[in-house]
Structure 1
Amino acid sequence: MRVTQGMLTNNMLRNLSNSYGSLGKYMEQLSTGKKINRPSDDPVIAMKGMNYRTQVKNVEQYQRNIGEVHNWMDNTDSALDKVQKGLSRLRDLAVQGSNGTYEDGQRGSIASEVDQLKQHLVEIANTKVNNKYIFNGTGTTGTIDGAGDEQPPVTLDADGNVVTVPTNNGAVNIEVSNGSKIQANIDPTNLFSEDLFKDMEDFAAALRNGADTDALGAFIGTIDGHIDNNVNERADLGARQNRIELIENRVLEQEVTAKNMMSNNEDADMEKVIMNLTSQESVHRAALSSGSRVIQPTLLDFLR
């Protein structure tokens, strides 16, 4: 086969073009820090990268969900702590009221404080977090009355008597890891029940009506029952708080693992890229030098 000058020139230009392509690839890897910058560079790495990115996004969403659970549980625990203090004070008032040394005027003052404690518990029962009622089961937006207005879980009439109490005890479950959901709320019907507010109203009425010490003393055991309900709900909440902390630690580890896998799949080895770029630059310079010597001599150079 006869090798012509055109063949040498075309081969040299083609090889130089390939060399420029290699230089461009290494320069792009060096500037972006990624092995590939488009799926056509390496379809296998691109497909794996999509899976790893999906995994990382899922873990990040679980972390946001865990934050929401923490928000619910922390606010619930704080509210239950205030309920505990209110009920403890109510018990102290029951002990005082059942003391035979108290006069009717003093018992009237105790009844006024009982009314204030009832108002305090009503406010706690209507606690909202992120504009959602946390003590109304799955009915976090409250109830809508006939006029289309939003009604809280606990409502009062004009005389300050409790009219409605929470009736929705549905569990608000939030997914915190793959296939794992945790309840973020408590059962409000066990705590803010109709019996609780009725007992407080009856206690205040007994204090004002001059009931005997035995009748007032009977409220102590009743209040103890409500205190036990609060303690039980708070204990159950604490157990779930401990569980969510364990899940959070596991999700954090999953995030580190997923990001490492994504990095190993996509990120370029910068030391290797620099070495390849330096080596390719040397090859390219050699190709340019040899090419200039090959195509320089022509027939016209010998006809002068």
Structure 2
Amino acid sequence: MSIGRITTAQIYSSSNASIQASKARLSQLTAQSSSGLLVAKPSDDPAAAASILRVRGEQAANAQYAPNISDGLGWLSTADTTMTASENLVRQAKDLTIQAANSGVSSPAARNAIAAQLEGIRDDLLTQANTKINGRSIFAGTSDASSAFDPTTFAYSGPTTSTSTTAPDGTVTTTTTALGSVQRRIGSGAGDTTTVSADGLAAFGSGTTSVFARIQSVIDALRSGTYDTDDSATGPKATVTSGIDVLNGALTSISAQHAIVGANYARMTSAKTQNATTATALETQRSGLQDADTTRTLLDLKTQELAYQTALQVTAQVIQPTLMSFLS
């Protein structure tokens, strides 16, 4: 039986390979300890690097929705506050109209006083309807008009569309609706968009059918010189009386749009919570793939340093220099 001869060169080669491997591992642990990253470049762990890139892409997309949600909440919060104020103003106008319709309010001075109060309410209501955020009207949709409603004609300035229907008796009814609502994307899904503007046309009307014009008609009736003498169905007294129901209908319209704004606000608030939750989950996922465990890395580093120093010492003891080491 023959025993293979182990040469000094073989011992040196084996020892050197072991030392280099230990040194490489020591270098890797040192880099991980200083950077805090388990995977700093794709070559460290190709599979993990691919997963990290995917997670980072999801983080970037999720981060983009955060400012959209914040901006949307600003729009909807402003709309909510404005519509609450508008509802209160229309209620005041309706109460004053009821007071004016009371037979006890018979003097011109009393009617003029109520008319003056209604003028102030009309102007305040118009100011609310023309509320802006970041230079854009919250009630004019995508329009870049300086105001949603003309202060003189009360005409709506946002984009609209009209549809006509014909009744069996031949009567044609034209309905005008607003177009171009302002929306914000809050997620990656096809339906993850939320309207952040309010439908000013549906809430306040336009022109002669607007709530502003309705209040103005009551003001004009109260200041009419024929108020005490004209008892016809179209006279000043009848206009004031019918104004109660008209303003009640206007209040219903504003409240209906307010409810829509409230629903959109609730959805946006929920989206904000979900966005934050998703951001936390994605960061936890990324950290688990990429970040190094500091305590474990330091422990491994110290252990590897000891192994490396031991390997150097053992190799130095095993491979002693001989006369041949100095011969070329």
Give the TM interval when normalised to the shorter protein. 0.7 to 0.9
In structure 1, how many angstroms separate the alpha carbons of the residues matched to 2:237 and 2:65? Answer: 56
- The answer (yes or no) to whether the contact 1:175–1:181 under 8 Å persists in 2 is yes
**What is the CA deviation profile of residues 70-107 of structure 1, one whole-angstrom value per residue up to 9, with x for unaligned ones?**
11111100000010111011111111221233311221
Amino acid at match of 2:158: T
The alignment yields a C-alpha RMSD, in angstroms, of 2.5
What is the aligned counterpart of 1:242 among 250, 261, 266? Answer: 266
> Partner residue of 1:132?
136
Superposed, 1:185-200 pairs within 5 Å as 185-194=197-206, 195=209, 196-200=211-215
Identity %: 24
Displacement after TM superposition at 1:219 (Å)? 0.7
> Partner residue of 1:175?
185
**What is the CA deviation profile of residues 125-171 of structure 1, one whole-angstrom value per residue up to 9, with x for unaligned ones?**
211112221110122x32xxxxxxxx322223xxxx33532432322
Secondary structure of the corresponding residue to residue 154 of structure 1:
coil
Secondary structure of the corresponding residue to residue 186 of structure 2:
strand
> Partner residue of 2:171?
none
Displacement after TM superposition at 1:300 (Å)? 6.8
1:227 and 2:230 aligned: no
In structure 2, how many angstroms separate the alpha carbons of the residues matched to 1:215 and 1:297? Answer: 119
1:288 and 2:312 aligned: yes
Secondary structure of the corresponding residue to residue 177 of structure 1:
coil
**What is the CA deviation profile of residues 12-68 of structure 1, one whole-angstrom value per residue up to 9, with x for unaligned ones?**
455433322211211111122211112222222111111101112222222322222
In structure 2, how many angstroms separate the alpha carbons of the residues matched to 1:95 and 1:163? Answer: 24
Secondary structure of the corresponding residue to residue 171 of structure 1:
coil
Which structure features the higher share of helix residues?
1
Secondary structure of the corresponding residue to residue 193 of structure 2:
strand
1:113 and 2:96 aligned: no
Secondary structure of the corresponding residue to residue 164 of structure 1:
coil
In structure 1, how many angstroms separate the alpha carbons of the residues matched to 2:268 and 2:5? Answer: 79
Q: Which moved more, 1:36-45 or 1:77-86?
A: 36-45
Secondary structure of the corresponding residue to residue 162 of structure 1:
coil
Superposed, 1:1-304 pairs within 5 Å as 12-102=15-105, 103-139=107-143, 141-142=144-145, 151-156=146-151, 161-168=152-159, 169=178, 170-179=180-189, 180-194=192-206, 195=209, 196-210=211-225, 211=227, 212-299=236-323
- The answer (yes or no) to whether the contact 1:135–1:153 under 8 Å persists in 2 is yes
Q: Which moved more, 1:75-84 or 1:207-216?
A: 207-216
- The answer (yes or no) to whether the contact 2:62–2:279 under 8 Å persists in 1 is yes
- The answer (yes or no) to whether the contact 2:101–2:240 under 8 Å persists in 1 is yes
In structure 1, how many angstroms separate the alpha carbons of the residues matched to 2:56 and 2:297? Answer: 24
Amino acid at match of 1:86: L
Displacement after TM superposition at 1:189 (Å)? 0.6
Amino acid at match of 1:154: F
Q: Which moved more, 1:266-275 or 1:31-40?
A: 266-275
In structure 1, how many angstroms separate the alpha carbons of the residues matched to 2:324 and 2:71? Answer: 83
In structure 1, how many angstroms separate the alpha carbons of the residues matched to 2:186 and 2:325? Answer: 80
